[in-house]
């Protein structure tokens, strides 16, 4: 089974599984197709994190990029900038990690050649695919921000205008880039002909990444973090991913008997929100690149969670708010319990907007999450990974795989994880019902206190009661993208796989 945020991507993974590939092969094929059909959300210029459960063992891949050698606080200060721009060449300051992540996955666990896994993605790039209404809205919303970038305009606008839904969208330069990776391997992207082309395209537009930055890049295999929540082992991606937030939060929630509450009750939501605030407070202080700022060893311990529950909310936030990110998540699983839980992103829609000429992809703006405040643990430094909103989850019970799940949503991703995990475990919901169920989000980054609680339309009747408890609440439309696009695969008690895909996005779960 494959559950992704686009039907063509799910089909790409299924085709590999039907051809005898394993879940890792299928994950790479799915990932590559998403880089074509949703390259507003992800792409060759972005990052990837993956959790794998293979033959009973859990593996974590960190495919996030590091800041370049020229990306320093002094560099921005000398330009009179107090913050890193969100768009443009000075936003594209971290090396994209997704292509190297493909290479690591294929080399360590794959059974197919990388070129075979990229064939479907290459075909969709060269021959085209029909644009969905959501993709068209993404182009339209990005146009005012990015239309000054000639390469972006040439790629994503048609005669200077936003193409209509259903338009067969071809990306020939992206197709040629994928063909080069297929023929020459991942190394060409970081240390070969393609890397020279990418860096030349960056530098000629005023960017600061270098060939040496690309040549130094390497993904890392990191030990996933875990906790036990009501008898289920919950695994999350390790820092610089924010996944540890989920585990601390679940440990706090285990102190409450959630199932005694009606799921849409204000009392239950109040518990979620208070523990959310505490978990996010710890997130803001503790999570970053572990090479520069190590996560406390006890962060996922039950005793740590109980200590946090006894704290008052403190305000140590400094810096500036960030815009929520655009991302895409997918899961792949087989009948033996092997699974891949994968998330990839450009950060904001179309990332930095900087497109190296002739490559067909935009570079992420993930580096703008760094701060220029030297005293902050997420301060910009060369060769440093920023605090990363991407996180993916796997659950096991009695040594069997129970689920793989995740969601886009920037800083609110842990909130979607926790809402889905508690719906599945505490309230025994069907996976698709759990995904469809109305959600709430408390918006806020590691630089700001969470003040903006938003609820989807079906929960707006709770607003007066929430306001009486001191929350500032706003209503969202039903199935709002602000609350994330989640996908999941769950194994039921009989060993069958049940897939769910979010109606907030364009997703589809497909099995055979």
Please give the positions annotated as active site. 327
51 contacts 60 by C-beta, under 8 angstroms: yes
Residues 6 or more apart from 99 whose CB is under 8 A from it?
A: 44, 181, 186, 189, 190
Q: What is the DSSP letter of 375?
A: T
Q: Are 215 and 192 in contact (CB under 8 A)?
A: no
CA 91/CA 348 separation, integer angstroms:
11
Closest CA to 152 of 65, 45, 54: 45
**Tokens matching residue 411:** 């800083």
CB 157 within 8 A of CB 143: yes
Q: Where are the alpha helices (DSSP H) in 164-203?
A: 172-184, 187-191, 193-203
Extract the tokens encoding 153: 């305009």
**14, containing H or E segment:** helix 7-18
* Three-class secondary structure assignment of 66-120: CECCCCCHHHHHHCCCCCCCCCCCCCCCECCCHHHHHHHHHHHHCCCCHHHHCHH
Rounded to whole angstroms, how far apart are CA atoms 207 and 239? 27
d(CA 122, CA 384): 32
Q: What are phi and psi of 252, to 5 degrees?
A: -70, -45
Q: Maximum CA pair distance of the chain?
A: 63
Q: Distance (Å, rounded) from C-alpha 419 to C-alpha 410? A: 15
Structure tokens at 121: 């993605």
Bridge-based pairing of strands 473-475 and 452-455 is: parallel
Q: Nearest-CA neighbor of 368 among 64, 84, 88?
A: 84
């Amino acid at each position: 089974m494959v559950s992704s945020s686009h039907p063509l991507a799910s089909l790409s993974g299924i085709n590999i599984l039907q051809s005898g590939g394993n879940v890792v092969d299928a994950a790479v094929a799915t990932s590559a197709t998403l880089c074509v059909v949703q390259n507003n959300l992800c792409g060759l210029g972005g990052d990837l994190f993956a959790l794998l459960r293979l033959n009973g063992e859990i593996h974590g891949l960190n495919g996030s990029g590091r800041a370049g050698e020229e990306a320093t606080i002094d560099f921005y200060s000398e330009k009179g900038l107090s913050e890193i721009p969100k768009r443009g060449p000075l936003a594209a300051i971290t090396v994209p990690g997704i292509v190297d992540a493909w290479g690591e996955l294929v080399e360590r666990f794959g059974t197919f050649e990388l070129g075979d896994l990229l064939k479907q993605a290459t075909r969709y790039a060269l021959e085209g695919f029909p644009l969905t209404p959501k993709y068209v809205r993404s182009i339209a919303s990005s146009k005012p921000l990015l239309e000054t970038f000639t390469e972006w305009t040439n790629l994503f606008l048609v005669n200077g205008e936003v193409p209509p839904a259903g338009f067969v969208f071809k990306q020939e330069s992206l197709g040629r880039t994928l063909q080069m990776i297929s023929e020459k391997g991942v190394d060409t992207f970081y240390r070969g002909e393609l890397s020279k082309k990418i860096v030349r395209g960056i530098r000629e537009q005023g960017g600061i990444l270098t060939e040496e930055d690309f040549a130094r890049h390497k993904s890392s295999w990191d030990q996933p973090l875990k906790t036990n929540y009501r008898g289920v082992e919950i695994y999350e991606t390790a820092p610089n991913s924010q996944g540890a937030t989920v585990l601390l939060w679940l440990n706090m929630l285990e102190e409450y008997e959630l199932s005694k509450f009606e799921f849409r009750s204000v009392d239950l939501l109040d518990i979620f929100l208070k523990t959310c605030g505490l978990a996010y407070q710890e997130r803001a202080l503790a999570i970053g690149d572990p090479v520069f700022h190590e996560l406390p060893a006890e962060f996922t311990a039950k005793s740590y969670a109980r200590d946090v529950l006894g704290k008052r909310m403190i305000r140590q936030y400094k810096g500036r708010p960030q815009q929520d990110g655009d991302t895409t998540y997918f899961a792949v699983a087989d009948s033996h319990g092997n699974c891949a839980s994968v998330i990839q992103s450009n950060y904001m829609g179309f990332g930095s907007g900087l497109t190296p000429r002739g490559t067909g992809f935009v570079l992420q703006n993930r580096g703008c999450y760094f701060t220029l405040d030297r005293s902050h643990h997420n301060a910009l430094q060369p060769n440093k990974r920023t605090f990363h909103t991407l996180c993916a989850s796997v659950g096991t019970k009695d040594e069997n795989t129970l689920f793989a799940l995740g969601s886009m949503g920037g800083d609110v991703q842990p909130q979607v994880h926790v809402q889905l995990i508690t719906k599945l475990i505490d309230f025994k919901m069907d996976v698709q019902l759990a995904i469809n169920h109305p959600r709430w989000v408390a918006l806020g980054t590691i630089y700001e206190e969470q003040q903006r609680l938003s609820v989807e339309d079906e929960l707006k009747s709770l607003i007066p009661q929430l306001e009486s408890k001191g929350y500032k609440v706003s209503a969202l439309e039903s199935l709002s993208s602000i609350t994330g696009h989640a996908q999941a695969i769950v194994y039921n008690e009989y060993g069958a796989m049940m897939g769910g895909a979010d109606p907030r996005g364009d997703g589809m779960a497909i099995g055979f």
